[in-house]
Amino acid sequence: MSSEVSITIDHLSKCYEIYAHPRDRLKQFVLPPLRRRLGRPDRQYFQEFWALKDVSLEITKGETLAIIGRNGSGKSTLLQLICGTLNQTQGRVARYGRVAALLELGSGFNPEFSGRDNIYLNAALLGLAREQIDDRFNAIADFADIGDFIEQPVKTYSSGMYVRLAFAVIAHVDADILIIDEALSVGDAVFTQKCMRFIREFQRTGTLLFVSHDMGAVQNLCESAVWLERGQIRLQGSSKMVAEAYLQQTLQDVYGSSIQLKPTSDSVRTQANAEPDGRAGSPVIDYNVRVSVTDNLSAATGWKSGGAEVLGVSLENLSRHLSDVFEGGERVRLRIRAKAHQDLSSAILGFLVRDRLGQDLFGENTLPVTALHPRAVTANQEFEAEFIFVLPMLPNGSYVVMASAADGDLHNNTQHHYLHDALVIHVSSSKVRWGLVGLTFDQIALEALQ
């Protein structure tokens, strides 16, 4: 086995026996052996439910892998098999290193024990000796930051306090493999930021398995992703590619059979063109922001229903005569042009600007206007949206503009055409040093006060 492998999953399956009546359990225990002794064919008194079926994965050391899918798709079952808290029906799973997991809320805790006692219990289960726990107890308690509640039974804790205590333990056990199953969704903003700082630091050396329904977090944290459906791997690849495919399928499930969403391209996007090409490394000579825009409409991926189609997306400089040069901080006009292929009672056009990790930076749609005065568009008619705003200053990197054409209102709408990378914006800058966007400051001063 290669020293670079952290987890090996080989044809892993998990089957549950579902009994219609309690008496069927007794029948299953008694009758099959009896029938075999009498030479009669076997009969089972339960239905099989395969929560996981023939899953194979190899996860390398230092890799960050997202596992996504709908509720009941087998995500938690897979994680519990990896952790060893469940036994598989078939297949094999091998772990190389210490595993720390944050699974179901309160898992591994005795509700009658105090927070202090549960720290010692949980840390011992994760492989720490008593002396090690003694040395790290204060650090764990400080990380959890639940005050005097640490001496109270955990059955009195809120869901957020459960997570605080559980995460504090796994953050101090020197794990090689960290598994997080949606648990951070119940934490408050301050504690979540503390956890994210720890996760970022852990990613430098450890292997992370992350389960979430937040596709922005998946693309932000993870390099690759696995999409589980009905206990089997439906798609595996880069987190961006898998998240986009999952988003399309989720919307298709909402629409049902009334609307069929189809990929905008029959070919599967390769890793080479899955990300915007990088000009972020261009040398900066005059130390000013420089933004260039590339029309990527012909290569953009997404889906369409056939009801409407985005024909063009453009960005124009209103502050200077040079419409193809941007520095950040100037007024710009973004136009989206589309064509209806069927009557639209209330047409909507919108956009989002995303960074390379898939995080939504800013965006808008025409709903603020159409919510009050719906714009009806007839079949074969073209329509256009115009957005005028101040372009923020952006750090070095490549950004994409998502554009969509829809019909409906805020609560009930149909996305007829959704393009992930309609425009690609390339930025070379040294102005933006902190954060995701930059600001123009009118004054910065420092003075000593008496």
Report pLDDT for 228. Answer: 94
**Mean pLDDT, the chain, whole residue set:** 83
CATH-assigned architecture of domain 261-428: Distorted Sandwich (2.70)
Structure tokens at 56: 């194979």
- pLDDT band at 113; cut points 50, 70, 90: very high
Q: Which of 94-103, 135-144, 185-194, 198-207 has the lowest mean pLDDT?
A: 185-194
Other beta carbons less than 10 A from residue 245's beta carbon: 21
Q: What is the strand order of the sheet 207-211 is part of?
A: 99-102, 177-181, 207-211, 64-68, 224-229, 232-238
pTM, two decimal places:
0.75
CA distance 148 to 115: 10
The CA-based angle 176-178-184, given to 5 degrees, is 155
Residue 182 above 80 pLDDT?
A: no
Measured between its terminal Cα atoms, the distance across the chain in Å is 67
Residue 268 above 60 pLDDT?
A: no
57-92, pLDDT tens digit by residue? 999 998 999 999 998 899 989 998 998 888 999 999
Report pLDDT for 335. Answer: 93
Residue 380 above 90 pLDDT?
A: yes
Structure tokens at 338: 């589309």
Residue 281 above 70 pLDDT?
A: no
Mean pLDDT of 199-206: 87
Torsion 138-144-145-146 (CA) sign: negative
Identify the CA nearest to 211 among candidates 173, 189, 247, 185: 185
Mean pLDDT of 434-442: 73
Q: Residue ranges of the domains in the chain?
A: 5-242, 261-428
The CATH code belonging to domain 5-242 is 3.40.50.300
